């Protein structure tokens, strides 16, 4: 009897301990790089990380499009974990950007899209006839999305996106994240 109580108490303790560990973890942006591969097609007005204070850190970027309207584009997203072995996350997917918003059937696409959608005007289907932006996407939002859908192992990650139109890569946005 006593042994059982001790075991139950132990399990409850471990559950809370684990929850505490998860909550004290944090996602940080460590670097961002935006590159236009075709200045006649698009260029970046800005692209930066900012720390307003210790708890509020965000990412903003704006792409000027010079060949609007855009009727067709493809996005290639890759999430890689930088590590020397053990459970590397290696996702690399390519999909139709015009259908991204409606693509509720594919969990990976809707998950990746959910990481920035509420903070972006990339939120409707084609055509796009305006500049694109991600406005003050906070790390705590990304953290929330990850803890809601996928438990993310600790480590450093690189999130790479290629924006392709008519078969040609036009821009690359690369974000480095650390989860610790
Ligand atoms: C950090 O900045 C945000 C936005 O300016 C503010 O709402 C928040 O209260 C600040 N947090 C702290 C701990 O100062
Ligand atoms: C992902 O795959 C695409 C197409 O196969 C390739 O061009 C790209 O370099 C890959 N990205 C990464 C980060 O490996
Ligand atoms: C898309 O984003 C813009 C800018 O934030 C916003 O004004 C608009 O209402 C959004 N549209 C949808 C369908 O969410
Ligand atoms: C992409 O292809 C379409 C159809 O062929 C064409 O109308 C459009 O101008 C092309 N866009 C660019 C940026 O080359």
CATH number, position 58: 2.70.220
In the chain, the number of structural domains is: 1
Ligand 3 contact via 124 beta carbon (within 6 Å): yes
Asked if the structure places residue 19 within a domain, the reply is no
Q: Which domain holds residue 133?
A: 26-179
Asked if the structure places residue 16 within a domain, the reply is no
Question: How many CA within 13 A on the CB side of residue 77?
Answer: 18
Question: Of all protein residues, whose CA lies closest to atom 2 belonging to ligand 2?
Answer: 92
Distance 91 CA to ligand 2 centre (A): 10
Asked if the structure places residue 3 within a domain, the reply is no
Q: What's the pLDDT score for residue 137?
A: 96
Is residue 51 within 8 Å of residue 128, measured between CB atoms? no
Q: Binning pLDDT at 50, 70 and 90, where does residue 24 land?
A: low
Question: Of all protein residues, whose CA lies closest to atom 7 belonging to ligand 2?
Answer: 76
Asked if the structure places residue 17 within a domain, the reply is no
Of 114-123, 145-154, 162-171, the one with minimum mean pLDDT is 145-154
Which residue's entry shows tokens 């450093």? 156
The token pair at 73 is 């584009």
Q: Is 146 helix (H, G, I), strand (E, B) or coil?
A: helix
Question: Of all protein residues, whose CA lies closest to atom 12 belonging to ligand 2?
Answer: 78
Of 4-8, 67-71, 113-117, 125-129, the one with minimum mean pLDDT is 4-8
């Amino acid at each position: 009897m006593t042994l059982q109580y001790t075991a139950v108490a132990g399990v409850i303790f471990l559950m809370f301990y684990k929850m505490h560990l998860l909550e004290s973890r944090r996602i940080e942006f460590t670097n961002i790089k935006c590159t236009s591969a075709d200045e006649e097609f698009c260029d970046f007005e800005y692209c930066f990380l900012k720390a307003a204070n210790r708890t509020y850190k965000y990412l903003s970027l704006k792409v000027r499009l010079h060949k609007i309207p855009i009727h067709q584009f493809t996005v290639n997203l890759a999430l890689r974990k930088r590590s020397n072995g053990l459970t590397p996350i290696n996702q690399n997917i390519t999909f139709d950007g015009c259908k991204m918003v409606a693509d509720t059937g594919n969990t990976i696409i809707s998950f990746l899209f959910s990481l920035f959608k509420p903070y972006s005007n990339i939120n409707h289907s084609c055509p796009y006839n305006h500049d694109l932006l991600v406005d003050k996407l906070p790390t705590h939002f990304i953290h929330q999305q990850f803890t809601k859908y996928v438990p993310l192992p600790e480590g450093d990650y690189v999130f790479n996106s290629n924006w392709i139109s008519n078969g040609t890569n036009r821009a690359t946005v690369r974000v480095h994240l650390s989860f610790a």
